[in-house]
Chains A and B, each alone.
Chain A
Amino acid sequence: MDNRKALLIDVNLCVGCKACVEACREENNQPEDGDMSVLSSTAYTAVIEKEEVYTRKMCMHCEVPTCVSVCPVGALEKTESGAVIYHYEKCIGCRYCMQACPYSVPTYEWASTKPKVQKCTMCYPRQKVGDIPACAEACPAEATIFGDRDELLAIARQRRIDEPETYINHIFGEHEAGGTSVLFTSSIPFDELGLPMNLPMEPLPNLTWDVLSKIPRFSVFFGTFLYGVWWVIDRRMEIADKGNNQLTEAVWNQRNQKDEV
Chain B
Amino acid sequence: MKLPFKLTFWRVLFGIVTLAGAYAVFVRVNQGLGAATNLSDQFPWGLWVGFDVVTGVGLAAGGFTIAGAVYVLHLKQFYPVLRPAILTAFLGYVLVVVGLLIDIGHPLRIYHPMLMGNFQSVMFEVAMCVTFYTSVLALEFSTVVFEKFGWKRPKKWVGKVIVPLVIVGVILSFLHQSSLGSLYLIMPSKLYPLWYSPLLPAFFLISAISTGCAMVIFESHLSFRAFGHRLEKHILKHLGRVMLLGMALYLVLKVQDFTTRGVWNLMFENRMETYVFWLEMLIGSIIPIVLLSIKKVRLSTKGLYVCSIFAISGFLFNRMNVTITGMTASSGVNYIPSWMEISVSLAIVGMVIFLFALAVRYFPVFGTPLKESQKQKLNKLSKIQGENSDKVSSNYTHIS
Whether B113 pairs with A73 at a CB distance below 8 angstroms is yes
Contacts of A41 in B (CB 8 A): 41
Residues of B in contact (CB 8 Å), total: 59
Given contacts A215-B125, A237-B74, 7 further A-B contacts (CB under 8 A): A93-B106, A102-B189, A104-B331, A110-B33, A111-B35, A113-B31, A222-B174
Q: How far is the CA of A100 from the CA of B123 in the complex (A)?
A: 11
Interchain CA distance A115-B108 in the complex, whole Å: 12
Q: State whether B171 touches A222 (Cβ < 8 A).
A: yes
Q: Across the interface, do A94 and B104 meet the contact criterion of CB distance under 8 Å? A: yes
Is residue B175 contacting chain A, with contact meaning CB distance below 8 A? yes
Are the C-beta atoms of A209 and B120 separated by less than 8 Å? yes
* Contact (Cβ within 8 A) A223 B171: yes
Interface residue? A134 (CB, 8 A) = no
In the complex formed, the residue of A with least CB distance to B174 is: A222
Q: Is the CB of A71 within 8 A of B188?
A: no
CB distance from A42 to the nearest CB of B (A): 12
B137: interface (CB < 8 Å): no
Q: A66-B186, A73-B112, A104-B331 are in contact. Are A113 and B32 (CB under 8 A)?
A: yes
Contacts of B29 in A (CB 8 A): 113
Mark A residues whose CB is within 8 Å of B.
Answer: 39-41, 66, 68-74, 90-96, 98-100, 102, 104, 106-115, 196, 198-200, 204-205, 207-209, 211-212, 215, 218-219, 222-223, 226-227, 229-230, 233-234, 237
The 3 closest A-B pairs by CB, nearest first: A93-B105, A110-B34, A72-B124
- For the complex, give the distance between the alpha carbons of A64 and B114 in Å: 24
Per-residue contact bits, chain B 58-71, to A (CB 8 Å; 1 contact, 0 not): 00000000001001
Known: A72-B123, A90-B116, A212-B119. A98 touches B104 (CB 8 A): no
Tell whether B364 is near chain A: CB-to-CB under 8 Å.
no
Q: Which of A96, A111, A198, A222 has the largest number of chain B CB atoms within 10 A?
A: A96
Q: Which residues on B sit within 8 Å (CB–CB) of A196?
A: 189
Over the window 35-53 of chain B, the binary record of Cβ atoms lying under 8 Å from chain A Cβ atoms (1 yes, 0 no) is 1000111101100000000
Report how far A94 CA is from B163 CA in the complex, Å.
35
Contacts A219-B171, A223-B168: A70 and B44 contacting too (C-beta < 8 A)? Answer: no
B294 part of interface (Cβ distance < 8 Å): no
Given contacts A66-B186, A208-B182, A222-B174, contact A72 B121 (CB under 8 A): yes
**Is the Cβ of B175 less than 8 Å from the Cβ of A215?**
yes
Distance (whole angstroms) from the CB of A8 to the closest CB of chain B = 23
With CB as the reference atom, state the residue of chain A lying closest to B42: A104
B110 within 8 A of A: yes
Q: Does B281 contact A (CB under 8 A)?
A: no
Contact call B74/A110, Cβ cutoff below 8 A? no
Complex Cα distance, B31 from A113, in Å, reads 6
Known contacts: A110-B34, A211-B182. The answer to whether A72 contacts B175 by CB under 8 A is no
Residue in chain B with minimal CB distance to A221: B171
Which residues does chain A contribute within 8 Å of B31, judged by CB atoms? 111, 113
- A-B contact list, 30 entries, CB within 8 Å: A71-B118, A72-B118, A72-B124, A74-B116, A90-B112, A91-B105, A92-B104, A92-B105, A92-B110, A93-B106, A94-B105, A104-B190, A108-B33, A110-B39, A110-B40, A113-B31, A115-B106, A196-B189, A200-B189, A205-B186, A207-B185, A208-B182, A208-B185, A211-B122, A211-B182, A212-B119, A222-B170, A222-B174, A227-B164, A230-B71
The reply to whether the CB of B117 lies closer than 8 angstroms to some CB of chain A is: yes
A-B CB contacts (within 8 Å), total count: 171
Residue contact B123 to A70, C-beta cutoff 8 Å: yes
**Are A100 and B171 also in contact (CB < 8 A) when A95-B45, A212-B122 are?**
no
**CB-contacts of B119-141 with A (<8 A):** 119-125, 127
**Do B122 and A70 have beta carbons less than 8 Å apart?**
yes
**A96 and B120 alpha carbons, distance in the complex (Å):** 13
A39-B41, A113-B31, A208-B120 given; A70·B186 CB < 8 A: yes
Q: How far is the CA of A114 from the CA of B107 in the complex (A)?
A: 10
**Interfacial chain A residues near B314, Cβ < 8 Å:** none
- Who on chain A is nearest to B37 by CB? A110
A199→B179 CA distance, assembly (Å): 22
Q: State the CA gap A112–B36 with chains docked (Å).
A: 12
**Which residue of the partner chain B has the closest CB to A93?**
B105
Name which residue of chain B comes closest to A90, CB basis.
B116
Which residues in B have their C-beta under 8 angstroms from that of A91? Answer: 105-106, 109
A residues within 8 A CB of B84?
A: none
Asked if B388 is at the interface of the complex by the 8 Å CB criterion, the answer is no
With A72-B123, A74-B116 as known contacts, state yes or no: A233 contacts B186, CB within 8 Å. Answer: no
| A72: B residues at CB distance < 8 A | 112-113, 117-118, 121, 123-124, 127
Closest A residue to B75 using CB positions: A233
A84 to chain B, nearest CB (A): 14
Q: Flag whether B279 is at the interface (Cβ < 8 A).
A: no
How far is it, in angstroms, between the C-alpha of A102 and the C-alpha of B34 when the chains are bound? 23
* B190 and A108 form a contact (CB under 8 A): no
B201 contacts which chain A residues (CB < 8 A)?
Answer: 211
Closest B residue to A215 using CB positions:
B175
Chain A residues, Cβ within 8 Å of B112: 72-73, 90, 92
Selected contact of B185 from candidates A110, A211, A229, CB within 8 Å: A211
Are A230 and B167 interface neighbours, CB within 8 A? yes
Docked Cα-Cα span, A207 to B190, in Å, equals 14
Q: Which residues of A contact B73 (CB under 8 A)?
A: 229-230, 233
Q: Hey, which chain B residues are within 8 Å of A114, CB to CB?
A: 105-106
Whether B121 contacts A69 by the Cβ 8 Å rule is: yes
A8 to B236 alpha-carbon distance, docked (Å): 64
Query: Residue on A with the closest CB to B189?
Result: A198
Instruction: Count chain A CB atoms within 10 A of each CB in B103, B106, B113, B183 and give the residue with the most.
Output: B106
